[in-house]
């Protein structure tokens, strides 16, 4: 919007003498106006022969062509404005740089605190029913709708991918001869070390791998797996919880049920099934809460419920406990256990489960690094069967009392926090074991799955259901539609304040009117596209998840999105046209001109909104969509015929003119507006009278024709259709305590008790809102935060890993060290280790092998997630901060990586005598033993009750 104001009051749209006094300040403080004036003066005051030609401007009065042109278009002829512009622009740059520096130092906008961190959410169940590992019997079951139990068997399953291109192309085998059988009514865990292939195996079995080579046999109830039917009887819960943020839990469940349950399911049956799942997942008290207000544990259960509403026979879950504390993880896994007890086959990958969670599983499939099978079989009561299997290998120490069986067996094979207990190939031992022989003989017979329709409902039902949800999403997104509505109101008001009541007496007046029509319509088209990018991006991942589950046809999704956008675009364009047209004094004598203006604006606004939607789904990130969208819009506007007509345009660029939608919009609006205006105006250059229609046609070099108005409207809708077809084709692809130096303290609490809030307060970065208060005091060596430079004393390590993706690990550490420490004085006895701090940290954090590897991001391949987390933690230790505050550093990490990072932090805390405070959700026992102190926050009495020691 600021750019729009600068363009309008730059002297280009409105000549300087015609700018009202109300807006004169903006003209003289406008950097674009100073730059444009300097460039114009530099050009037309030059000694070019064309500009030096003398022409008559009156009786016996002659003037330079260049000077006459400047005066005719409202520009001064004073050359002193050229150096003046340079001075002004340099000053503007200095002001902006200073303002940016001050903003970086003093202004910081933080995201709103999650509700669970500020106040506790309503209880999920009575106190006696929560926090227990005992499996509770739900008041409703999941068998009200019939389903076919499924036994899924796979033999000699291998998966190979290609790495590199051309001559450097090699292959890598990620899975090697895996076998197993997932049976109805069982809950199977897929476990192994990081990179062993747990998720890869589950994706291969679930049919979610679209690249690479898959070998081996898969059977369903004894028959070869048929993907056409298997997708209808299976559900897949992704690790990331992606849903429409404005929808309530009940609405999300009803949407899934409406599209995924068979078409012959009655409304009462669907409603009853939704209620059953809400009850089984303990979400009934929160059924009417919007998704964006839910805690992480509740969001995970929503993800499970959405998949469960397809009434699947087999359910896959990828890391269902990642990012959850022990209580939330227990609730989620208890719900998953109930699903398995309903007779369904449930398989999930899981990291570092606690003993309570591990005992919920019936079977275990264990992989070692390299994608080899180490164990597949029952766990038994208290993991007795698993422990008995490992007990047969000589040299393995017995499990310690109270040791987690999951941690023990991972440590045995070297997938835990240390090396393997004995130097043997556990995969080879398994292949030679009696257990492997029994598993190979296991083949569950059953009835062949009945082929189902590709989608459970007709296209019409899918479209209506999607249309209802899309309409609700638009209505519940006021920030998106309000911003667009404000533009539709403010832009006409600004132009109306300049051009209202303006009489067309000279060709300059007509040109000004032409210019503001072009600028206003072009700006609104760009705005409609750019504002749609972030909004559509929010729903893109939801579409990918739902499409992967085969909930609906892509055409139904794109059509529903198009129809809802059509309604809003008609309303928005109507608001703009009805205010802009009359406020700016456009031709009110011909209803035909007004109607064409309305029709072309509505079509163009709709078209550019659709282009924004297309770019979001075409490109990997919203940033790339915005970049390409800006480029496309610029080309379309430059070659629309306004800045340079097609006859003057170089032949090599004329094709852009003919495919530019702005060309067809502009020609239609201009010809409808001026074709019937024959009133004379004075040509400011020749001082002769000319009809408005003739001047306009001459301005466009007679390349615009009124005969093309209807054709242009048809062509715009053809382009809209092409954009929608391109979009469819693309969619088809897819407390009180003391923390001492040299100690490491763990902060634990139930969900929503504020451990993150505590850390931010200790670091001095807690953003306190108007309705919040902070009591008590924090001191550092007896000093209050206001008495010291807390930013250099305390370092806060947030949960997310934010780094420059193109820097290597070592470069990242060196940059941080240089910024935080500066130049090291070799004679300073306190700085002996500072010269080698980067190398020390890289070694301690286990990053030596990837020191010269770039960090990477979603678009650039770099280090792994675990290594990136080590960089985040280690980077904050490069400085001289004596207090380190680490917030949930173990999120998404396996037990081994978590232990390595915690051990490294522990080592550096002891060596450098740093005070370290960490928050964690569910630390494994071996990680728990690394801490010196623990601070436990209690939900009771608003944190007045806590334990520290």
Closest CA to 557 of 540, 535, 569, 537: 540
Query: Mean pLDDT throughout 474-497?
Result: 82
The verdict on 576 and 671 lying in the same domain is: yes
- Check residue 113 and give its pLDDT: 41
Looking at the chain, the whole-number percentage of residues with pLDDT higher than 90 is 2
Question: Which pLDDT tens digit goes with each residue over 674-702?
Answer: 888 888 888 877 778 888 888 888 888 88
Alpha carbon separation from 77 to 46, 68, 427 (Å, rounded) = 11, 9, 87
Report yes or no: 220 and 560 within 8 Å, Cβ to Cβ. no
Residue 450 inside a domain? The answer is no
Cβ count within 10 A of residue 822 = 11
Identify whether residues 604 and 705 lie together within a single domain: yes
Same domain, yes or no, for 291 and 321? yes
CB 74 within 8 Å of CB 18: yes
Number of helices (H), then strands (E), in the chain: 35, 20
Compute the distance between CA of residue 709 and CA of residue 722 in angstroms, rounded to an integer: 20
The DSSP bridge partners found for residue 397 are none
> SS3 of 909, please?
helix
213-220 vs 187-192, strand pairing mode: unpaired
The pLDDT > 70 percentage for the chain reads 85
Question: 790 with 831, same domain?
Answer: yes
Q: Which residues pair with 345 in a beta bridge?
A: 314
Strand, coil or helix: 343:
coil
pLDDT tops 60 at residue 126: no
Contacts of 188 (CB under 8 A, 6+ apart): 180, 182, 345, 346, 347, 348, 361, 362, 363, 364, 365
Handedness of CA 175, 181, 184, 188 (dihedral sign): negative
Of 435, 525, 422, 530, residue with least CA distance to 480: 530
**Which are the contacts of 573, defined by CB distance < 8 A and separation ≥ 6?**
488, 598, 601, 602, 605, 606
Together in a domain, 860 and 944: yes
For 655, other C-beta atoms within 10 Å of its C-beta total 10
Confidence at 382, pLDDT banded by 50, 70, 90: confident
Q: How confident is the model at residue 450 (pLDDT cuts 50, 70, 90)?
A: very low
DSSP string, 810-827: HHHHHHHHHHHH-S--TT
Residues 237 and 321 in one domain: yes
Tell me what the mean pLDDT of segment 140-145 comes to: 64
Residue 202 lies in a domain: yes
> In which band, very low, low, confident or very high, does the pLDDT at 346 lie, cut at 50, 70 and 90?
very high
Same domain, 73 and 219: no
Residues 723 and 757 grouped into a single domain: no
Distance of CA 859 to the CA centre of its chain: 13
418 pLDDT higher than 70? no
**Phi and psi angles of residue 169, each rounded to the nearest 5 degrees, phi first:** -70, 125
739 is a domain residue: no
What is residue 780's three-state secondary structure?
strand
Is residue 461 one of the residues assigned to a domain?
A: no
pLDDT digits (tens, 9 = 90+) for 692-735: 888 888 888 888 888 888 888 898 888 888 887 877 766 655 45
Tokens representing 240 are 């990331």
Per-residue pLDDT at 90: 92
How would you class 390 by CB atoms within 10 Å of its CB: exposed for 0-12, middle for 13-18, buried for 19 or more? Answer: buried
Q: Residue 706 contacts by C-beta under 8 Å, 6 or more apart in sequence?
A: 671, 672, 675
Q: What is the mean pLDDT of residues 222-240?
A: 80
From the list 558, 607, 561, the residue with the least C-alpha distance to 730 is 558
The alpha carbon of 334 is separated from its chain's Cα centroid by a whole number of angstroms, namely 30
Euclidean distance between CA atoms 338 and 135, whole angstroms: 8
Distance of alpha carbon 86 from alpha carbon 89, whole angstroms: 5
Same domain, 727 and 759: no
Identify whether 737 is part of a domain: no
Tell me, yes or no, whether 654 lies in a domain: yes
Cβ contacts of 48 within 8 Å, gap of 6 or more: 66
In the chain, how many domains are there?
4
Q: Which of 182-191, 435-444, 453-462, 605-614 has the lowest mean pLDDT?
A: 453-462
Closest CA to 299 of 290, 312, 308: 290
Which residues on neighbouring strands pair with residue 159, listed in sequence order? 175, 214
Please enumerate in sequence order all residues whose Cβ is within 8 A of that of 579, keeping only pairs 6 or more positions apart, or say none.
488, 489, 492, 493, 496
Angle at 636 between CA 631 and CA 637, to 5 degrees: 100
Check whether residue 430 and residue 483 sit in a common domain. no
CATH of the domain at 160: 3.40.50.300
Domain of 23 in residue numbering reads as: 2-106
Instruction: Tell me if residue 377 falls in helix, strand or coil.
Output: strand
Task: Give me the mean pLDDT over the 349-371 stretch.
Answer: 87
**Mean predicted lDDT score pLDDT of the chain:** 79
Total Cβ atoms within 10 A of residue 721: 11
**Distance set, CA 90 to CA 298, 788, 938 (Å):** 54, 37, 57
Nearest to 150 by CA among 392, 449, 377, 596: 449
Is residue 470 in a domain?
no
Q: Which residues pair with 748 in a beta bridge?
A: 936
Asked if residue 374 is part of any domain, the answer here is yes
Average pLDDT over residues 396-421: 75
The tokens for 497 are 């304040």
Query: Which residue, of 71, 89, 106, is where some domain finishes?
Result: 106
Tokens of 591: 């209803």
Q: Same domain for 763 and 717?
A: no
State how far the Cα of 585 lies from the Cα of 590, in Å rounded to an integer. 13
Q: What is the DSSP string of 477-507?
A: -HHHHHHHHHHHHHHHHHHHHHHTT----BH
What span, in angstroms and rounded, lies between the C-alpha atoms of 859 and 278? 38
pTM over 0.85: no
DSSP for 411-456 reads HHTT-SSSS-SSSS-HHHHHHTSHHHHHHHH-----PPPPP--SSS
Mean pLDDT of 618-642: 84
Q: Which residues pair with 62 in a beta bridge?
A: 56
Residue 428: count of CB within 10 angstroms of its CB: 11
Residues 647 and 764 both lie in one domain: no
How does strand 915-919 pair with strand 744-748? parallel
Q: What gap in Å lies between CA 913 and CA 338, rounded to an integer?
A: 49
Cα separation of 417 and 406, whole Å? 12
Give Cα 479 distance to the centre of its chain.
17
Q: Quick one: which of 142, 143, 147, 144 has its CA closest to 449?
A: 147
CA–CA gap between residue 421 and residue 548 (Å, rounded)? 41
pLDDT of residue 730: 66
pLDDT of residue 87: 92
pLDDT value at position 131?
A: 35
Question: What separation, in Å, do the N-terminal and C-terminal C-alpha atoms of the chain show?
Answer: 56
Cα–Cα distance, 836 to 813 (Å, whole number): 11
Which of helix, strand or coil describes residue 175? strand
Q: What is the CA radius of gyration of the chain?
A: 34
What residues are paired with 171 via a beta bridge? 162
Report which of residues 850 and 924 the model is more confident about.
850
Q: At what angle do helices 865-875 and 895-912 cross, to 10 degrees?
A: 20
3-state SS, residue 166: helix
Q: How many Å apart are CA 677 and CA 689, to the nearest integer? A: 14
| 711 phi/psi in degrees, rounded to 5 | -60, -40
Say if residues 382 and 372 touch (Cβ distance below 8 Å).
no
């Amino acid at each position: 919007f600021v750019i729009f104001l600068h363009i309008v009051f730059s002297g280009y749209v409105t000549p300087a003498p015609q700018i009202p006094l109300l807006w004169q300040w903006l003209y003289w403080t406008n950097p674009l106006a100073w730059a444009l004036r300097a460039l114009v003066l530099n050009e037309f005051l030059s000694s070019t022969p064309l500009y030096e030609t003398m022409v008559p401007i009156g009786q016996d009065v002659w003037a330079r062509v260049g000077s006459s042109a400047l005066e005719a278009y409202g520009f001064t002829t004073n050359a002193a404005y050229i150096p003046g512009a340079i001075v002004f622009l340099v000053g503007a740059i200095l002001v902006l740089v200073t303002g940016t520096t001050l903003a970086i130092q003093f202004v910081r906008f933080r995201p709103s605190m999650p509700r669970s961190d500020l106040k506790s959410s309503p209880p999920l169940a009575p106190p006696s029913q929560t926090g227990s590992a005992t499996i509770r019997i739900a008041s409703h079951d999941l068998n009200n709708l019939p389903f076919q139990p499924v036994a899924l068997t796979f033999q000699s399953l291998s998966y190979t991918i290609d790495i590199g291109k051309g001559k450097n192309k090699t292959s890598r085998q990620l899975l090697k001869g895996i076998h197993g059988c997932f049976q109805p009514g069982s809950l199977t865990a897929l476990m192994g070390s990081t990179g062993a292939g747990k998720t890869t195996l589950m994706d291969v079995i679930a049919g979610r791998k679209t690249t690479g080579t898959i070998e081996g046999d898969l059977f369903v109830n004894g028959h070869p797996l048929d993907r056409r039917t298997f997708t209808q009887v299976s559900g897949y819960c992704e690790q990331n919880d992606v849903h429409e943020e404005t929808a309530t839990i009940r609405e999300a469940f009803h949407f899934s049920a409406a599209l995924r349950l068979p078409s012959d399911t009655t409304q009462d049956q669907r409603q009853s099934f939704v209620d059953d799942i809400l009850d089984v997942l303990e979400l009934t008290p929160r059924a009417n809460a919007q998704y964006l207000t839910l805690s992480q544990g509740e969001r995970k259960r929503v993800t499970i419920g959405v998949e469960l509403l397809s009434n699947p026979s087999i359910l896959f879950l990828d890391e269902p406990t990642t990012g959850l504390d022990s209580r939330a993880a227990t609730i989620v896994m208890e719900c998953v256990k109930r699903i398995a007890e309903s007779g369904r086959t449930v398989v999930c990958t899981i990291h570092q489960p606690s003993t309570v969670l591990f005992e919920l599983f019936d079977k275990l499939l264990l992989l070692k690094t390299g994608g080899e099978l180490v164990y597949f079989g029952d766990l038994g009561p208290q993991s007795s069967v698993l422990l008995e299997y490992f007990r047969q290998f000589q040299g393995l120490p017995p499990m310690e009392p109270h040791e987690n069986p999951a941690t023990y067996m991972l440590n045995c094979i070297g997938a835990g926090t240390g090396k393997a207990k004995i130097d043997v190939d556990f995969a080879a031992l398994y292949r030679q074991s009696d257990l492997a022989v029994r598993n190979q003989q296991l083949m569950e017979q059953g009835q062949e799955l009945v082929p189902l329709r590709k989608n459970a409902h007709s296209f019409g039902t899918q479209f209506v259901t999607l249309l209802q949800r899309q309409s609700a999403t638009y209505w519940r997104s006021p920030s998106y539609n309000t911003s667009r509505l404000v533009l539709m109101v403010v832009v006409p008001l600004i132009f109306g304040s300049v051009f209202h009541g303006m009489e067309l007496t000279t060709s300059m007046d007509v040109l000004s009117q032409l210019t503001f029509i072009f600028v206003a319509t072009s700006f609104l088209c760009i705005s409609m596209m750019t504002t749609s990018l972030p909004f559509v991006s929010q729903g893109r991942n939801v579409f990918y998840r739902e499409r992967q589950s085969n909930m609906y046809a892509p055409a139904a999704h794109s059509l529903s999105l198009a129809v809802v956008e059509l309604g809003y675009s008609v309303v928005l364009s109507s608001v703009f046209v009805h205010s802009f047209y009359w406020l700016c004094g456009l031709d009110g004598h011909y209803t035909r001109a007004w109607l064409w203006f309305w029709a072309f604006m509505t079509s163009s606004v709709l078209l550019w909104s659709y282009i924004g939607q297309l770019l979001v789904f075409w490109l990997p990130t919203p940033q790339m969509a915005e970049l390409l969208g800006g480029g496309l819009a610029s080309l379309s506007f430059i070659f629309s015929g306004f800045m340079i007509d097609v006859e003057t345009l170089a032949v090599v660029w004329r094709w852009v003119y003919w495919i530019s939608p702005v060309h067809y919009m502009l020609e239609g609006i201009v010809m409808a507006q001026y074709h019937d205006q024959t009133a004379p105006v004075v040509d400011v250059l020749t001082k002769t009278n000319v009809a408005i229609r003739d001047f306009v046609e001459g301005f466009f070099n007679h390349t615009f024709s009124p005969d093309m108005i209807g054709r242009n409207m048809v062509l715009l809708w053809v382009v809209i259709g092409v954009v929608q077809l391109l979009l469819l084709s693309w969619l088809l692809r897819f407390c009180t305590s003391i923390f001492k130096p040299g100690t490491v303290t763990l902060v634990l609490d139930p969900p929503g008790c504020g451990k993150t809030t505590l850390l931010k307060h200790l670091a001095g970065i807690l953003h306190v809102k108007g309705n919040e208060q902070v009591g008590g005091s924090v001191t550092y060596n007896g000093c209050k935060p206001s008495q010291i430079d807390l930013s250099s004393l305390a370092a806060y390590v947030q949960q997310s890993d934010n780094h420059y993706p193109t820097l290597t690990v070592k470069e990242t550490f060196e940059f941080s060290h240089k910024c935080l420490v500066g130049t090291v004085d070799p004679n300073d006895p306190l700085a002996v280790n500072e010269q080698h701090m980067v190398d020390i940290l890289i070694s301690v954090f286990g990053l030596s092998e990837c020191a010269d590897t770039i960090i990477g991001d979603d678009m650039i391949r770099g280090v792994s997630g675990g290594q990136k987390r080590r960089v985040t933690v280690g980077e904050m230790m490069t400085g001289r901060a004596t207090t380190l505050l680490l917030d949930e550093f173990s999120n998404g990490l396996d037990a081994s990586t978590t232990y390595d990072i915690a051990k490294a932090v522990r080592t550096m805390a002891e060596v450098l005598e740093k005070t370290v405070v960490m928050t964690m959700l569910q630390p494994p026992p071996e990680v728990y033993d690394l801490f010196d102190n623990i601070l436990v926050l209690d939900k009771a009495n608003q944190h007045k009750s806590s334990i520290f020691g």
